[in-house]
């Protein structure tokens, strides 16, 4: 018997087009599946078709398309009720067992067929012409079949059981496709489980399971080994299979052949009996008027909007989604803006970001499902013919539904805002900054939802099929996201435009605001146009044929609607023209591909000049005029260059900053030159000297550089020159010679364009780079003087002592001068600042004059100023005592907007991002004082990086960064307790493991470290601490002191003699000198060998 | 105002010729459209209600072209479909109010009074605050007619309204309909001959997409007067009688078979003459067309 039911089910499904549609859809998607899932992930040496990668991609795709499983399995029993055939079905003498088994197996067979599309699609994907054979192993069918059987099938089985039973028991179609959401919710909840073992077992798609299992695998293993079906993975799969079986058993018990149409509701008041009273057939109908004008339409629109809004509010599934959303947010609310393990104050900016990130999924779910529901609302209860016969305008009807849904979003948004405010209040933070809430939700989220709702409605009307319409919107959304990462990023064709950009307390939304508004308006008018089209294309009456509806548009488009449509389309086009004018006419727009090509050509054309002998800059004198309100500047600069080489120099190569807004003109020399403009398209000009420059000779260059802002650009544009918080460094000014930083970094892009792999750092003995303290360094030290003019309410800061400041013509002027040489690396900063000042008095031990300590901060960000001050004093105490005297007269910490999240060291100046220290909420008991620590680290750079510089070769960062870490830890230890140091070191272990996990290459030793941050920051800190534990803090400090004395740039004895910069070979020599014989191995182990550190889980 | 249908034709995409050159002149008052299942009644009703397009022909309501000026027609149209459902979680009063807005009664006060009046008229006032999910079949139909009457329509189309209603409900329904003013064209489609006899001043019989008879009910009965004969026979003899006579109806009464036959002259043979009834008219027409079609086939 069950076999008959099974066959019937199959036969029925075979005739349905959606069976094939789902298969084709999944098949096509899977062809590009791996590329899609992996976009933005650099696999390095791991091939795209290694079993591990395939397994993860399969897991992810299965996860995304579980909703298809829901649609296939859920309708199995439900179908009888939907078509009202249940009474005929259930009176037959069939046994429950046969009925359920037959239906289940039949649907499951179909499910397998549909999901085989995943398997075949991915396999076919390997042979697609756009795949790079270098990324692939030879085809191995096992790599695909194995993950399909082990990863996909078990979870498919579970999904099949779950969806089948819920459909059979609930008998409601709406449950079928909302259960996909609950599943998704479970997935998110699982992701946030911190116990990794538990998480691995519970992960429905085995993504974290596989990651955990293969955590310690080598690159070899990752490339070739199949997924191990043992241990955690086995438990994970068993868990879900068993759960599925349990659900089947439960459902089997509960199911029976009754036709339950309505629930037994406890009626609180009894139904009012419909008593036959004297029926008043002859009752007079009162007078009324039928109105169709504009005012009437408006009333209808508001009435309909409220009607649809209320109808969604009444649905229990809606509340189910909302409650799931709240749960997720509670789970996620735990960590808020953490930096190095410390939470920030619950600033509105953080709260908004957190709320946005989690709530957007739920908004999308609501958007996709309820647009379907609303479009089909009348038809699902068979009330559509009555509606269609009323004179309600097509557009008003559809717009009513649209606005109803919008009202739902707005109500949800307001609740989110209220919960955010409650959260802040509960944490004792009262600066609510309502405008930030407003911007975050009503400017960013709501327009995004509004635009996609237009699309969803259009998709539903076009496809006239609820499920396919839902799929269509999901596809559209994914394609849109995908396009952007493939380099198609112009806001005029990328639906919805770009996001608003980072909010900074200092700069608000700055200059991002205006283009955002215009682009959103542009897309909203587009959306409105397609809403109008949707309304006259929608099904009205009995005709649902596509072509017939198309023909019907002409009659349905009333005059007023036509006029309205023309107005919206015209506005759309006008806005488009204005935007285009700004982004492509006033400014230069380069697509991602064009940018890459430009940089490839730069390298191919100019790399030959990389080590071309050039003089060095020895003096810089600048006159800078900043105009922050219009985002412009004018710089008049003078460089004095000396020929420090031992050859004659006949050409001077000047590189202008590669930026369309920056113009360099008026470059003049005090000697005769001929300009060679051959490479001008790269901003590279060669000046041929009439009279060659002899070794020891000098030359003066005067230039004028301007930065001009016109209109607005695609993609947010410059974050250095802003309205409040301007921050740029001398790399923006003209530099000498070829600039390596313009080379492409991405290994795939490089090989695509025929470029050799990029050497990250030169070998330690590279003779050319031994002479460079930085890539392409054009100086060995300069004397520096600058006058900066800025807006009246701003303070401008550059390295040097403030000689004079004055106001003139409503502008502020600042004159800074360094009284000794400094490295050619300086910052120019300007913003509206408050300042806290202090001094550091030297103790009798050191010989320097008192140092001015200044912190320039944004008003209100005064949480950690005292900590920073303390740190400056403590650090100067320690470093001056143990290493060498501090070389400058001032130390200034300047806050800059959170567009960049770091702190950086310049001579006597430390710009410090808004995001990483000023708003940290440091609990002295549970946290490490990161504001203190980062300050100490940056101050250490005045020694490591400015007093002593390191050659631009392997190991450079051991000297610059690791030593700074060491120094800062020592200050931390002195000021706080040993426990805090241990806590800090534990954080470093975590950072190390995280870094190592994503490392695709081999881990280098500290002595030869290149750009591996997890080595020179994290491991370095740990190893240096260990060193001083063994040989003693005093010994280490002595070594460093000697190292600085011998190698500092100003008068280091060895530096002067060898005329090169220090390397780790030199540094380690000093360490070895202070280390006793029996501990010499330590130096070798810690710095020259690679001993992987134990991570907490092994 | 009258509704003039001229040569209306529609063929569905599966080849079924639902309407074939239908022409009717329908003045104000109740018009009955009789026909068996599948005759084309609902297709015609939906086309008149601006919900379906025709392949050929025209329909004019006064000066309005029903096929081309759909929106203007909807302003004066009331439609009660053959099958419809209702939103479960909403009260009768709220939904009726909602439809009133859709029909253009945007003044809140006017609307409220109108809704009350119609609820009284259809005896739904007592249950106006109840959710529609609990309504019986009869109550649903009453709601249906209430919404159709909201805008005091000039053209009211009711498609098989009494199918499935008990006799008391049917009665109530007709009472409401008969109160309608004389300035409305009311088209009532049904396969229950009684309905037409009771209510309609004009009628047409439609079968297989074609109009087979039109006129005043009284007059069409008159035309058949003197031609209808009745006889009680045994069931087994039925086939034999069908061969020799034009049997237009076969009924059972107290277990015995009674047949009506159509004859121009008295057939004798135990047949008794009876006064013609509208049912006889109906059956004779249907039988005729079916027989004609059989001959053609």
The residue in chain B having the minimum alpha-carbon distance to the alpha carbon of residue A384 is: B84
Residue A328 vs residues A187, A325, B40: alpha-carbon distances, Å: 10, 5, 56
Given an 8 Å threshold on Cβ–Cβ distance, is A383 in contact with B87? yes
Residue A283 vs residues B116, B151, B179, B199: alpha-carbon distances, Å: 11, 16, 9, 20
Given an 8 Å threshold on Cβ–Cβ distance, is B87 in contact with A381? yes
**Residue A286 C-alpha, separation from nearest chain B C-alpha, in angstroms:** 6
Start-to-end C-alpha separation, chain B:
41
A705-764 pLDDT per residue, tens? 999 998 888 876 788 999 999 999 999 999 999 998 899 888 778 888 888 888 778 888
B-chain residues near A291 (CB < 8 A): 104-107
- Look at strands A649-655 and A735-736 and give their pairing: antiparallel
Q: Give me the residue from A282, A283, A291 closest to B104, CB to CB.
A: A291
Query: Between A and B, how many residue pairs show a Cβ–Cβ distance under 8 A?
Result: 145
A290 touches chain B (CB under 8 A): yes
**Residue B131 C-alpha, separation from nearest chain A C-alpha, in angstroms:** 10
C-alpha–C-alpha distance, residues A864 and A888, integer Å: 24
pLDDT at res. A47? 73
Given an 8 Å threshold on Cβ–Cβ distance, is A311 in contact with B87? yes
Count CB neighbours of A745 within 10 A. 10
Given an 8 Å threshold on Cβ–Cβ distance, is B51 in contact with A276? no
pLDDT at res. A1002? 81
A387 touches chain B (CB under 8 A): yes
- Annotate A300-354 with DSSP letters as a single string: HHHHHHHHHHHHHHT-HHHHHHHHHHHHHHHHHTT--S-BTTBPBP--HHHHHHH
The residue in chain A having the minimum alpha-carbon distance to the alpha carbon of residue B139 is: A274
Q: Which of A733, A762, A735, A696 is nearest to A950 (CA)?
A: A762
Interface of A with B in 544-573 (CB under 8 A): 545, 548, 552, 555, 558
The residue in chain A having the minimum alpha-carbon distance to the alpha carbon of residue B102 is: A392
Task: Take residue A252 and report the two structure tokens written for it.
Answer: 């089997």
A390 touches chain B (CB under 8 A): yes
B-chain residues near A288 (CB < 8 A): 105, 107, 110-111, 113-114, 152
Residue of A277, A296, A389 to mutate, interface with B, max B Cβ within 10 Å: A389
Given an 8 Å threshold on Cβ–Cβ distance, is B176 in contact with A281? yes
Given an 8 Å threshold on Cβ–Cβ distance, is A385 in contact with B85? no
Given an 8 Å threshold on Cβ–Cβ distance, is B121 in contact with A299? no
C-alpha–C-alpha distance, residues B112 and A403, integer Å: 25
Residue A252 vs residues A105, A112, A166, A993: alpha-carbon distances, Å: 14, 22, 11, 48
Q: Give me the residue from B77, B87, B172 closest to A279, CB to CB.
A: B172
pLDDT at res. A791? 93
Torsion of Cα atoms, A436 then A442 then A445 then A448, to 10°: -140
pLDDT at res. B99? 93
Mean pLDDT by 10 residues, chain A (1098 residues): 85 85 85 72 69 82 80 83 75 80 91 90 81 74 84 87 86 73 68 66 74 69 71 80 88 76 47 55 73 85 93 85 76 58 73 82 86 92 91 93 95 88 82 86 92 95 88 85 77 85 87 91 95 93 87 86 93 94 88 88 91 92 95 95 91 91 90 89 92 91 93 82 93 92 85 85 87 84 95 94 94 94 93 93 66 93 92 93 91 93 92 86 84 94 93 92 94 90 90 79 87 91 92 93 92 88 92 92 90 55
Residue of A386, A553, A559 to mutate, interface with B, max B Cβ within 10 Å: A386
Given an 8 Å threshold on Cβ–Cβ distance, is A291 in contact with B107? yes
A338-392 pLDDT per residue, tens? 555 666 677 788 788 878 877 887 888 889 889 999 999 999 888 999 999 999 9
Counting other chains too, the contacts that B121-127 makes at CB distance below 8 Å and 24 or more residues apart are B121/A280, B121/A281, B121/A283, B121/A285, B121/B146, B121/B149, B121/B176, B121/B179, B122/B146, B122/B176, B123/A274, B123/A276, B123/A277, B123/A279, B123/B172, B124/B92, B126/A272, B126/A273, B126/A274, B126/A275, B126/A277, B127/A272, B127/A274, B127/B92
pTM listed for this prediction: 0.82
pLDDT at res. A269? 44
B-chain residues near A279 (CB < 8 A): 123, 172, 175
Q: How far is CA A875 from the centre of its chain?
A: 35
> Contact, B150 vs B122, CB < 8 A?
no
Q: Give me the residue from B84, B102, B147 closest to A382, CB to CB.
A: B84
> Contact, A742 vs A603, CB < 8 A?
yes
pLDDT at res. A1096? 45
Q: Can you give the pLDDT of all 297 residues of chain B as single tens digits?
A: 899 999 999 999 888 899 999 999 999 999 999 988 888 888 999 999 999 999 999 999 999 999 988 888 999 999 999 889 888 888 999 999 999 999 988 888 989 999 999 999 888 999 999 988 888 888 899 999 999 999 889 999 999 888 778 888 888 888 888 887 788 999 999 878 878 887 888 999 998 899 988 888 888 888 888 888 888 888 888 888 888 888 888 888 888 888 888 888 888 888 888 888 888 888 888 877 666 655 443
- Annotate A833-873 with DSSP letters as a single string: -EEEEEEEPPPTTS-PPPEEEEEEE-TT--TTHHHHHHHHH
């Amino acid at each position: 018997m069950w076999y008959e039911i099974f066959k019937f089910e199959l036969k029925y499904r075979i005739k349905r087009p959606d069976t094939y549609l789902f298969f084709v859809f999944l098949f096509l998607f899977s062809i590009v599946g791996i590329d899609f899932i992996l976009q933005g992930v650099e696999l390095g040496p791991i091939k795209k078709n290694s079993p591990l990668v395939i397994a993860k991609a399969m897991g992810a795709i299965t996860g995304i398309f579980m909703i298809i499983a829901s649609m296939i399995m859920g309708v199995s029993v439900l179908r009888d009720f939907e078509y009202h055939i249940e009474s005929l079905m259930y009176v037959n003498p069939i046994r429950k067992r046969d009925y359920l088994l037959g239906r289940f197996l039949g649907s499951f067979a179909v499910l397998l067929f549909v999901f085989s599309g995943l398997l075949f699609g991915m396999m076919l994907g390997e042979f697609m012409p756009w795949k790079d054979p270098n990324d692939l192993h030879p085809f191995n069918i096992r790599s695909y079949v194995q993950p399909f059987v082990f990863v996909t099938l078990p979870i498919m089985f579970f999904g099949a059981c779950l969806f089948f039973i819920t459909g059979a028991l609930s008998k409601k179609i709406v449950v079928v496709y909302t259960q996909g959401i609950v599943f998704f919710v479970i997935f998110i909840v699982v992701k946030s489980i911190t116990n990794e073992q538990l998480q691995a077992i519970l992960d429905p798609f085995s993504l974290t399971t596989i990651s955990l299992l293969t955590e310690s695998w080598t690159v070899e293993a990752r490339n070739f080994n199949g997924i191990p079906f043992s241990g955690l993975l086995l438990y994970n799969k068993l868990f879900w299979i068993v759960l599925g079986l349990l659900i089947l058993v439960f459902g089997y018990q509960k199911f029976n052949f009754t036709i339950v149409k309505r629930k037994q509701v406890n009626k609180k008041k009894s139904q009012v009996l419909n008593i036959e009273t004297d029926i008043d057939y002859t009752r007079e109908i009162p007078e009324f008027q039928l109105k169709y004008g504009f005012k009437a339409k408006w009333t209808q629109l508001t009435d309909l909007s409220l009607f649809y809004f209320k109808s969604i509010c009444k649905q229990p599934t809606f509340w189910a989604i909302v409650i799931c959303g709240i749960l997720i947010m509670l789970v996620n609310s735990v960590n808020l803006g953490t930096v190095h393990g410390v939470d920030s104050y619950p600033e509105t900016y953080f709260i908004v970001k957190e709320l946005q990130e989690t709530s957007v999924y739920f908004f999308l779910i609501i958007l996709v499902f309820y647009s379907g529901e609303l479009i089909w609302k009348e038809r699902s209860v068979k009330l559509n013919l009555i509606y269609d016969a009323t004179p309600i305008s097509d557009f008003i009807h559809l717009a009513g539904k649209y606005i109803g849904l919008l009202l739902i979003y707005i109500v949800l948004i307001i609740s989110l805002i209220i919960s955010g405010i409650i959260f802040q209040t509960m944490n004792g933070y009262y600066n609510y900054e309502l405008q930030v809430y407003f911007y975050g939700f009503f400017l960013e989220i709501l327009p995004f939802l509004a635009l996609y709702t237009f699309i969803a409605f259009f998709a539903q009307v076009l496809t006239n099929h609820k499920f396919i319409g839902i799929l269509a919107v999901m596809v559209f959304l994914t394609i849109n996201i995908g396009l952007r990462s493939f380099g198609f990023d112009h806001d005029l064709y990328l639906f919805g435009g770009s996001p608003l950009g980072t909010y900074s307390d200092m700069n608000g939304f700055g200059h991002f605001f205006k283009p955002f508004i215009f682009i959103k308006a542009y897309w909203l008018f587009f959306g409105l146009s397609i809403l109008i089209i949707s309304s006259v294309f929608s099904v009205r009456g009995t005709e649902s044929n596509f072509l017939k509806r198309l023909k019907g548009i002409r009659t349905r488009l009333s005059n007023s609607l036509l006029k309205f449509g023309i107005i919206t389309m015209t506005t759309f086009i006008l806005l488009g023209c204005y935007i285009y004018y700004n982004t492509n006419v006033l400014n230069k727009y380069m697509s991602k591909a064009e940018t890459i090509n430009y940089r490839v050509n730069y390298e191919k054309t100019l790399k030959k000049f990389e080590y071309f002998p050039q003089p060095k800059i020895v003096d810089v004198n600048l006159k800078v005029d900043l105009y922050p309100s219009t985002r412009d500047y004018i710089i008049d600069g003078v460089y004095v260059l000396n020929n420090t080489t031992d050859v004659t120099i006949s050409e001077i190569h000047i590189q202008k900053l590669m930026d369309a807004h920056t113009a360099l003109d008026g470059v003049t020399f005090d000697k005769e030159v001929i300009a060679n403009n051959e490479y001008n398209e790269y901003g590279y000009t060669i000046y041929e000297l009439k009279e060659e420059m002899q070794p020891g000779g000098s030359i003066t260059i005067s230039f004028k550089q301007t930065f001009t802002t016109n209109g607005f650009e695609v993609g947010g544009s410059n974050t250095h020159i802003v309205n409040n918080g301007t921050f740029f460094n001398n790399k923006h000014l003209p530099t000498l010679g070829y600039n390596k930083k313009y080379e492409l970094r991405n290994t795939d892009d490089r090989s695509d364009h025929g470029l050799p792999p990029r050497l990250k750092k030169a070998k330690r003995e590279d003779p050319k780079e031994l002479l460079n303290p930085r890539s392409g360094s054009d100086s060995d030290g300069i004397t520096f003087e600058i006058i900066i003019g800025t807006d009246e309410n701003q303070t401008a800061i550059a390295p040097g002592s403030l000689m004079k400041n004055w106001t003139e013509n409503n502008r502020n002027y600042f004159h800074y001068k360094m009284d000794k040489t400094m490295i050619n690396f300086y910052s120019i900063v300007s913003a509206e600042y408050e300042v806290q000042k202090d001094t550091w008095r030297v103790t009798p031990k050191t010989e320097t004059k008192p140092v001015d300590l200044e912190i320039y901060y944004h008003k209100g960000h005064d949480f950690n100023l005292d900590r920073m001050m303390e740190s400056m004093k403590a650090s100067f105490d320690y470093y001056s005592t143990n290493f060498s005297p501090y070389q400058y007269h001032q130390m200034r910490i300047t806050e800059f907007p959170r567009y960049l999240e770091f702190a950086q060291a310049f001579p006597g100046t430390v710009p410090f991002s808004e995001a990483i220290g000023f708003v940290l909420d440091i609990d002295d008991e549970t946290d490490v004082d990161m504001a203190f620590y980062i300050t100490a680290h940056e101050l250490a750079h005045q020694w490591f990086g400015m007093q002593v510089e390191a050659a631009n070769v392997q190991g450079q960062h051991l000297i610059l960064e690791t030593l700074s870490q060491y120094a800062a830890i020592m200050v931390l230890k002195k000021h706080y307790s040993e426990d805090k140091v241990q806590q800090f070191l534990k954080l470093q272990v975590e950072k190390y493991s995280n870094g190592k996990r994503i490392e695709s290459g081999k881990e280098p030793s500290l002595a030869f470290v290149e750009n591996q941050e997890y080595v020179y920051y994290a491991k370095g800190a740990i190893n240096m601490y260990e060193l001083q534990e063994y040989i003693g803090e005093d010994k280490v400090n002595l070594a460093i002191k000697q190292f600085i004395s011998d190698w500092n740039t100003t008068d280091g004895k060895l530096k002067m003699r060898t005329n090169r910069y220090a390397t780790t070979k030199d540094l380690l020599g000093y360490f070895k000198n202070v280390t006793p014989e029996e501990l010499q191995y330590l130096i070798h182990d810690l710095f020259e060998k690679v001993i992987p550190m134990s991570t907490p889980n092994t | 105002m009258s509704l003039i249908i001229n040569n209306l034709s529609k063929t569905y995409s599966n080849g079924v010729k639902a309407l074939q050159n239908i022409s009717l002149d329908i003045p104000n008052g109740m018009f009955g459209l009789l026909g068996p299942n599948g005759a084309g009644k609902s297709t015609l009703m939906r086309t008149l209600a601006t919900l379906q397009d025709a392949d050929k022909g025209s329909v004019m309501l006064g000066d309005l072209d029903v096929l081309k000026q759909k929106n203007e027609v909807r302003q004066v149209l009331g439609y009660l479909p053959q099958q419809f459902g209702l939103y479960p979680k909403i009260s009768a009063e709220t939904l009726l109010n909602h439809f009133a807005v859709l029909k253009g009664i945007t003044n809140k006060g006017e609307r409220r009074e109108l809704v009350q009046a119609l609820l009284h008229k259809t005896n739904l006032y007592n249950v106006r605050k109840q959710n529609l999910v609990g309504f019986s079949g009869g109550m649903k139909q009453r709601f249906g007619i209430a919404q159709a009457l909201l805008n005091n329509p000039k053209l009211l189309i009711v498609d098989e309204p009494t199918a499935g209603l008990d006799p008391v409900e049917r009665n109530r329904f007709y009472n409401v309909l008969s109160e309608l003013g004389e300035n409305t064209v009311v088209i009532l489609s049904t396969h229950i001959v009684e309905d037409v006899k009771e209510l309609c001043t004009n009628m047409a019989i439609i079968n297989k997409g074609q109009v087979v008879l039109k006129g005043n009910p009284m007059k069409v009965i008159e035309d058949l007067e003197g031609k209808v004969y009745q006889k009680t026979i045994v069931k087994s003899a039925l086939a034999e009688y069908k061969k020799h006579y034009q049997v237009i109806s076969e009924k059972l009464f107290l277990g015995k078979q009674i047949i009506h036959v159509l004859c121009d002259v008295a057939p004798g043979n135990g047949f008794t003459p009876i006064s013609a009834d509208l049912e006889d008219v109906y059956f004779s027409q249907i039988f005729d067309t079916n027989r004609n079609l059989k001959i053609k086939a």
